[in-house]
Chains A and B, each alone.
Chain A
């Protein structure tokens, strides 16, 4: 076999150096050809799209570039621009605080909601990122009381008493839990009510770290959207879980109550519920209870959100294989133990994307409160700012700013949820 070489005319013995691929098959040219001009219909689409983009840039470019940031009214902007295209962004810099905090929040106290916002990020981080030290969850637990004191002001006593009530409830629950979950729950509620009643009698005596009080009607701007969104979502999660479990329950009365509540709330637009909060809800409470509008709105939005969250969690519960329920039963766990240790951790994990969707949707829907004349971000823009003589007619800059704020928040949340889904994926794919 070794003489094959001599019988053949030519045998290459060394490797050729690799040739460059053809110009059309590499680099930018190939990318453009396969991604933009792969067929004639694609080419037409590309050209049309490019034309639209160029038009957009030609129109919006100068508008941004010539933007004016430091005048006191639209008239001054127009004077400077002399008919040229340009945005009058001064409305944002001049009304910055109003856009963020509303029209009536005291000027000297802006640091309080700002601090509350920063602390909220700190409080939320251990919930959002499980790698952070678990000790931070203590701060998360304290945060609602701290935030109430910071935003509404007054003496810190209210927050401390509320907190002590919850601590007492927790301790009582731990003591009585052995007799059964429901008995523990009952003991917790009784302990909390007792603590609030007893300590409430001394509340007026002491005043710790008093801050200037800000009534609810003075809240506004983007702060109001943030407050409504955070409060209502946090409150609606436990209610939503309870409703979802109720809807899955075998007890006809409890199931009936949950189904009617969920279907009724999901069947009507949020705006009608806000009308209820605005004009009807007051009739359902004794005349001496003086609920302010923001509290009534929080009640209605929470009901609204919990119905949607209940449906998402019901989906998660239904998606669990039946074997999980049977496994819990065969371990001898009772209903609450099975739910707490086996079912809910898995069902909630499945429901996270849905819950985040509801949260984003709800946060966007907080703008609807502007329809019942509350001054949230949209309400501020449509009301005091566009109605003022200085800024009448500055639509694009204001609405664009509002859209941008919401986009950043909501897009951020949905990106986080996608990241979390990848983190929680425990199957090996």
Chain B
């Protein structure tokens, strides 16, 4: 007994828009698009209506007007007569500065704490766990405020005065005060460019020497020493050139003048508080990533390398680290991103980053809330997108090459 069903009709019926999986997705997408356009249109029409009612318009003219406020820590020249645009740039640079400093110290702290947590030394392992748990479970804002309080405990510049001062400069070079840290600043005299150029050439030379040593090792099996020759190539020519040119690089040491230190390089208290807090906080997270990365490597790898006759240093650098880094680096980079975003909390300690200038004082003075916040978001978005682009590139490079 045979039964024939009708071949499907090729004509299109309206009910297929709901019941046929081939067409249903178009229906849903059309509905989603219409809803989205309606929503956006509703919000935009409200925005335009409200702006018109308040007599406002969207304009970026305010960026050219003088800012009229001071910024205590600047990387480029800035006075309160500079424009709002200039103030924003100062803020952007300050954000990048604290993010850069923070990433470096957070990495150092994180690696130490992460390795320490796996240490055979019970006390160190426990201490590091306490550090990690304490910082991971308490809001970063509270840590920023606490560390900012700690920094105020340092002696005031006045304590350095007098015949028998209450406080002394560290090594005679650094002064830790409650206004900030004063450090020696290099002074570039005539001829210093040649010394710097020599140093840069030395760095390149070291790089080539190491590559040559590796090549020789692979080609002939002969091992050249790399440690002390690298150091020699790095330092000797520069030092020689320094004296040949007649010591063109000087040091400007901070000195106490009046009620405050003069000269040298100054890191203001808010910067130090924010820098320390962000790096200690992020360090706790990086420590967890480092620990996870090291634990992800099979013990067999260490044992296999040892049975090949490698020494422990080489086991670490040739076998364990290359594999562990593939696990460690992606989450660490997203921690850098978090640190950069958390640096917007600078506003709580009075460090003038881009949130403090563009999103803070400029916004309040000009009342241009929409424009300011839009620019602020765009800045952070550009930073995040470029960092994730770097991360994707890295992930693709170190991805396990599977056949």
Contacts and interface: CB of A to CB of B under 8 A. Distances in A.
A36 B123 CA distance: 7
A45 B124 contact: yes
Given A36-B121, A36-B122, A370-B141, A283 B347 contact: no
A364 B139 contact: yes
A243 to B, nearest CB: 13
Contacts of B119: 42, 45
Interface stretch (B46-54, B100-108, B170-178, B310-318): B46-54
Given A378-B145, A395-B149, A402-B142, A283 B50 contact: yes
Interface in A28-85: 34-36, 38, 42, 45-46, 49-50, 53
Contact of B373 (A272, A406, A407): A272
B390 interface: no
B18 interface: yes
Q: For chain B, which range describes its interface: under 10, 10 to 19, 20 to 34, or 35 or more residues?
A: 35 or more
Nearest to B364: A279
B272 interface: no
A272 B376 contact: yes
Interface string B331-374: 00000000001101101100000010001000100000110010
Given A254-B28, A411-B133, A272 B122 contact: no
A279 B363 contact: yes
A220 to B, nearest CB: 16
Instruction: Tell me if A's interface is mostly helix, strand, loop or mixed.
Output: helix
Contacts of B51: 283
A279 B376 contact: no
Interface residues of A, number: 57
B398 interface: no
Contacts of A319: none
Contacts of A276: 373
A252 B29 contact: yes
Nearest to B140: A364
Contacts of B345: 271, 368, 371
B141 A267 contact: no
Given A34-B120, A46-B123, A284-B47, 11 more contacts: A45-B124, A49-B123, A53-B127, A251-B25, A267-B380, A269-B341, A275-B369, A360-B137, A368-B141, A399-B145, A406-B138
25 contacts: A35-B120, A42-B124, A45-B121, A46-B121, A46-B123, A49-B124, A50-B123, A180-B18, A251-B25, A251-B28, A251-B32, A264-B381, A266-B384, A267-B380, A267-B384, A272-B344, A272-B376, A275-B359, A276-B373, A279-B373, A286-B49, A365-B139, A371-B345, A395-B145, A406-B138
Interface of B: 18, 25, 28-29, 32-33, 36, 43, 46-47, 49-51, 53, 119-124, 127, 133-134, 136-143, 145-146, 149, 341-342, 344-345, 347-348, 355, 359, 363, 369-370, 373, 376-377, 380-381, 383-385
